[in-house]
Amino acid sequence: MKTGAITQLLNGELSGSVDIEISGLANITDATETDLVFAENSAYLKAALHSRAGAILAPLTEKTNIDGSSKAVIFTDSPRNAFITMLETFAAPIHAPDGIHPSAVVSEGCKIGAGVRIGAFSCIGTGSVIGDNVTILTGVQIAENCRVDSDTVLFPNVVLYPDVSIGKRCRIHSGTVLGADGFGYVLIGQGLRKVPQLGGVLIEDDVEIGANCCVDRAKTGKTVIGAGTKIDNLVQIGHNVQIGKGCIIVAMSGVAGSARLGNGVMLGGQSGIVEHGIVGDGARIAARSCPISEVAPGETILGFPGRPYRERMREFAATAALPAQVKKMRSLEKRLSELEAKLASSEKSDNSE
């Protein structure tokens, strides 16, 4: 695209030539003459103006900071969102042939919508419903009585156990398993008796789940992932968990069975939510943190056991001061010992007189 067309697409303002051809996006350091780069502030803009980049995307507030440069600069109210638009524009489409690959297995009784693409060696079980324009890539396994709604993409080797429902415009990445048995056992004597897991999984609209995640089926009812929630790679969601809308769950986090997360909750990497835990709307759990009691809406939790952020930071500051305090205490103990020795010597002298 030429810079003039990009400016029109972004509804921006252009300083410089409208005819510079852009064929890719890059960071400032690696950019070439055909790349568009993103300069979020004055420091990045200064670096971008001295780079090889063919064009720069910058905030409108930086219009006075281009120092008469002839380099093409596109100014917008929200350059970050504009850069996302350009990433979407330049992104390669998902490679999947139209129609159903000859090696795919579609059981009798399935309903397949218009424009569906099903890749090689994928299988769809009896009674499942696939909505319009769904893309199912190589090796996907969809069991009986599942539903995948319109415009959703299932990447290679995704597995759906029976009774899994996925909403519209979802993206489920490779290796993720939806609907495996919840981890439920009862101790009987010296052994463990498995608790049957008879429920299902409901993934609402516009959810994205990263690679190699597991969302367990409910014991009864459904495990629910709310609309617009984004889940990173390597996340475990236990049985009967209820996750609200617009949540962010970062890699290697775990949510134990029957926990409830409100809307807009954020879980940092390697954080954990205990069984039956409750996290209120808009709460944040810092990386590697685990609250062991209910988290109030909007609260930020840090550490294990999880404590409110400000309290935990004061504790960390106090802990950091401990070596100096220990040194001071030892000095005081030494002085006290010396004073006690002098006092004892004085009392002994007085008694001898």
Residues designated catalytic: 239
Instruction: At 58, list the tokens.
Output: 């910058």
117 touches 96 (CB < 8 A): yes
- Cα gap 277→292, rounded to integer Å: 7
Pairing of strands 242-243, 260-261: parallel
- Cα gap 54→65, rounded to integer Å: 18
CB atoms within 10 A of CB 4: 15
Burial 161-184 (b: 16+ CB within 10 A, else e): bbbbbbbbbbbbbbbbbbbeebeb
Of 259, 315, 321, which Cα lies nearest the Cα of 292? Answer: 259
